[in-house]
Structure 1
Amino acid sequence: MNTSVGKDTMHLNPPPAPNTPRTVSVTYACGDERRGPLTMGQANMIRCILRDDPEHINNHDVWAVPSGTSVEGAIDALRTLALRHEGLRTTFPHAPGTAPVEQVVAAEGTFTVTVVDHTEFPEEPARYAESVARAARAGRFALDREFPLRISLLTLGGVPVHAALASSHAVTDGSALAVLREEFLALLAGEELPPPASFAPLDLAAQEA
């Protein structure tokens, strides 16, 4: 697995005695770069993203990690999702002060996972994970360069318990996050996923044209 540990990238409101968060850099490579126009839905949503409070427009979700999952296994499943879904590898280049008019799907790249280990969780670990995911909604996603998921893997004694995520509404909504959660759990269970059921955004844009 291609991972490396870098400097801390976020500060949380932790339960008692957490270890220092560490950032794992995860690389992927999957073929050729693609680029083309936005879908109508993307164009409409990006206008809202550039205008509205990011805490309101961004999404979040919490995924309970099955017992017995390793940090490496959870990260491998996240990498597989990035390889599987072009939307997660999509950025929207644009000049400052202008709105994007095209999208670019990366052939290779890097995203980060913040691993926050704990010696103990609070009495309501799911509620704590929810607060971590909500906190990650703050701050606008850099549409031209940022991976559209901000992921924290909350571990207890080195064992993953929850993945807390915030996402850019340019590529995911609540139903898309639910699909990603189901696929994440299926991958951890060793299941083989069928091909994605929906068009990739660039293919949808071609259909609209």
Structure 2
Amino acid sequence: MNKIKSIFIANRGEIAVRIIKTARVMGIRAVTAYTLNDKKSLHIQMADKVVCLDINILNDTFLSPERMVAVAKEENCDAIHPGYGFLSEDYRFAELCKKYGLIFIGPTPDVLKTMGIKTEAKKLVELARVPVLSGLERETEELIKYAKDLNYPLTVKAVAGGGGKGLRKVLKADELKKEVNQASREALNYFGDGRVYIEPFLENTRHIEVQLLGDQYGNLIH
């Protein structure tokens, strides 16, 4: 792999700040962007170069693969770091980076395509005999119709989301339509994909997570 000399950070706020700090230690030029709402953010002061995106609409800025790639190319960056959230799990973004000769600092498009879509990831781990919760995925109106007869509480989750966005707890059937619609709108706003699915809500549970980091050479740490 060619040495990375300049990266474009397709994110903002604290996420961008952490990436800028690491890039500085590694001697890599960090380019970042901001909308008018972000003009007082710390990442603007820290980056080597900042680009104003003019408007505050996420779908035309940090959720637009084409806009992010265009800025990276205009600033002669070698790579794009997506951070987390926004486009970080969008396989189409990773494919677009590859198409335009940019290194995508993250998983391959194939991995993102499989694991970024939560319902597809569940199917994959089921093949590995990992126990998963039963779920229900339908178009919004059908989802509301079928879920009325399920046991409550339920959880509404974004199909293409993560980080708590597009996530709702539903205590009873008459709350379902409102929570499904809110989760769908939030998922569309943050991830560009408004699809949601439903799972049982588990009470008194613990979240246990293991971080895995691998590279293209077969090295893996956790």
Q: Which of the five TM-score ranges fits, normalised by the shorter chain?
A: under 0.3
- TM-score (norm. length: structure 1): 0.22
Higher percent of residues as strand:
1
Relative contact order higher in (CA < 8 Å, ≥ 6 apart) = 1
- TM-score (norm. length: structure 2): 0.21
